[in-house]
Structure 1
Amino acid sequence: MKNYFIERPRFPVHDFRRRFRMRRELFESILNAVVNHDHYFARRLDATGRQGLSPHQKLTSVFRILANRCSADSTDEYCRLAESTTIENLKRFCKAIEGIYGATYLRKPNREDLKRLIRKADKIGFPGMIGKFRYKVNGNRYELGYYLTDGIFVKSFSHPDSAKKKLFSQRQESYRKDVERAFGILQARWAIVRGAA
């Protein structure tokens, strides 16, 4: 608590952001949402009548695993949590995040989302980023949405021989760089994205 969470913490704001990969205000906002969603994270009395683990301890262990891709037992010295408690924290945290933010951020895009994404792609010069694919198999009609993303991006023309192909290549490469840059930032901030912990 003295390191980061009191009014005048031992370490400055930029250290908090480096360690947790987010601002302290965002950490506190997530902590409050998680505690209100699942009282497992609230501080309770243990079997001997003493104060149990704080919500800050529990979430600190979770964010250390997610941000630094460390093992559950490596948080015991700093957070004073057993490996099994840290794993339980992580599982409960993931379920809480899904329950709190799932309807907003972890859902399939609706028509308004698609329209917004199409407008954004059109605005930067890459129309058709999202589309529909219709086909028929064994008498059944299918209509599937698709995104042009890394791995299935249409390849640029290696030697564009017309103004239209040159423009397509330029815009496509620009958009692809944006996608790769965004994913690179995500990987740099959250080690868990680079591979399982």
Structure 2
Amino acid sequence: MDDLWNEAWDSLIQEVQREADEEDEAAAAIPREIRHLRTLPRDHVGAAERLMADYFSANPRYPAEIFRRRFRMSRPLFTHIATTLADRFVRACGKSFSPEFLRKPTSDKCQRLLDMHGAVHSFPGMMGNIECMHWEWKNCPVAWKGQFTTGFKSKHPSMILEAVADYCLRIWHAYFGVAGSNNDINILQSSPLFNDKCRREGPEISFVTNGTQYRMGYYLADGIYPRWSVFVKTLRQPAGARRQYFARKQEAARKDVERAFGVLQSRWAIIRCPARVWHEDDVANIMLACIILHNMIIEDEGFAAERWAPEDGASTSHGVATAPIQMGVPHSNEYLIQRLADIRMSTSHDQLQVDLIEEVWARRGGGVA
């Protein structure tokens, strides 16, 4: 009985194998269509020639305004950048242009900032606006995600940029690379923004508001920043015409840094989208390169970017900026600690805010409240 079962099983296997071989032979006998990948004639050489004829020839086809709309900057600035950068773009951009376009303002630039903000916003002694911006880091290493993720604004890893911008949207201070789990106060504690002020190496700022003399400029900030003498914040639930007007003016002037962030992201799509690079230094180099290019465009366009131009003649109504007298002279630790204490003095912050409320109202010409 077992022999009959084995023979039947073997014959069944042979029959199945024979049918499979016949199917393979039949399939091999049918000719198959060979499909080739379609190749499109893209004419790269002709496209390059047309690009040069349209924008970079001696008599370009398109005018200067169309060039700027496509390349986001003027033609002379574009050619200057292209001829200067011969190495990798991002690193070469930071190395070649950061000493000029990412430096701290000189005494002449500080005077221009004082005059501009005093004339436009009616804030004497104002140096700019300070704010932070998150840039999502898509390819953050898994081991770092907890450190670079905050549950307040986003559930994704990010890096933070602390920036100071003026009315013309130029960024004068850029501190980037802090983990996204920090808030604005944590970033401020590690920021080098006030290092020169503590060492008394930066320009000396003096201004008068409501009859009171002040020896340090200030930045407009939002509510999270501490009550330091170098910050001016808005008022919560302001009562009275003067205080309400001051709050509106402060919040309106604070839009400068928000506009700067918006223009920065609209110009460079790479920082509008999550960062896709893996290394932390590469993310920082990209951000700083975009800020440098942004500042180059602002400087190239000059005062035409905003409806403001410097007034003829010297004016001290908005403040005076002078070069430091003892620049480079080392100071004792006691002196540095005292300077830092002066910057963090909350009583000076409160007094400055009170004086500015009266000064801004007087410049409005509002009369009796």
Larger proportion of helix: 1
Residue 146 to residue 94, structure 1, CA distance change in 2 (3 Å): farther
- Report the Cα offset of residue 118 of structure 1: 2.1
1:26 aligns with 2:104: no
Q: Who is 1:73 aligned against? A: none
Q: Who is 1:196 aligned against? A: 275
1:157 aligns with 2:229: no
- Report the Cα offset of residue 22 of structure 1: 2.5
Larger proportion of strand: 2
Corresponding letter in the other structure for 1:196? A
Q: Any gaps of 5 or more consecutive residues in structure 1? A: 35-40, 42-88, 132-141
Root-mean-square deviation (CA, aligned residues, Å) is 3.5
Larger-Rg structure: 2
CA distance in 1, matches of 2:271, 2:218: 23
| 1:5-36 CA-partner distances (Å, limit 9, x unpaired) | 233779887775455333344322211233xx
Q: Any gaps of 5 or more consecutive residues in structure 2? A: 1-47, 129-196, 200-216, 226-230, 277-369
- SS in structure 2 at match of 1:28: helix
Contact 2:67 2:73 in 1 (8 A): yes
CA distance in 1, matches of 2:110, 2:251: 22
Residue 148 to residue 23, structure 1, CA distance change in 2 (3 Å): same
1:148 aligns with 2:148: no
Residue identity (%): 44
Map 1:92-171 onto structure 2 (within 5 A): 92-124=88-120, 125-130=122-127, 143=198, 147-149=219-221, 152=225, 154-171=232-249
Contact 1:3 1:10 in 2 (8 A): no
Aligned pair count? 132
- SS in structure 2 at match of 1:22: coil
Q: Which has the higher contact order (CA 8 A, sep 6+)?
A: 2
Residue 193 to residue 166, structure 1, CA distance change in 2 (3 Å): same
Give the TM-score, by structure 1 length.
0.51
Q: 2:252 aligns with which of 174, 180, 190?
A: 174
Residue 14 to residue 100, structure 1, CA distance change in 2 (3 Å): same
CA distance in 2, matches of 1:109, 1:94: 23
CA distance in 2, matches of 1:2, 1:192: 27
Contact 2:221 2:233 in 1 (8 A): no
CA distance in 2, matches of 1:119, 1:10: 41
| 1:82-130 CA-partner distances (Å, limit 9, x unpaired) | xxxxxxx5xx323332343222211122333223222222222123434
Map 1:4-19 onto structure 2 (within 5 A): 4-6=51-53, 7=57, 17-19=68-70
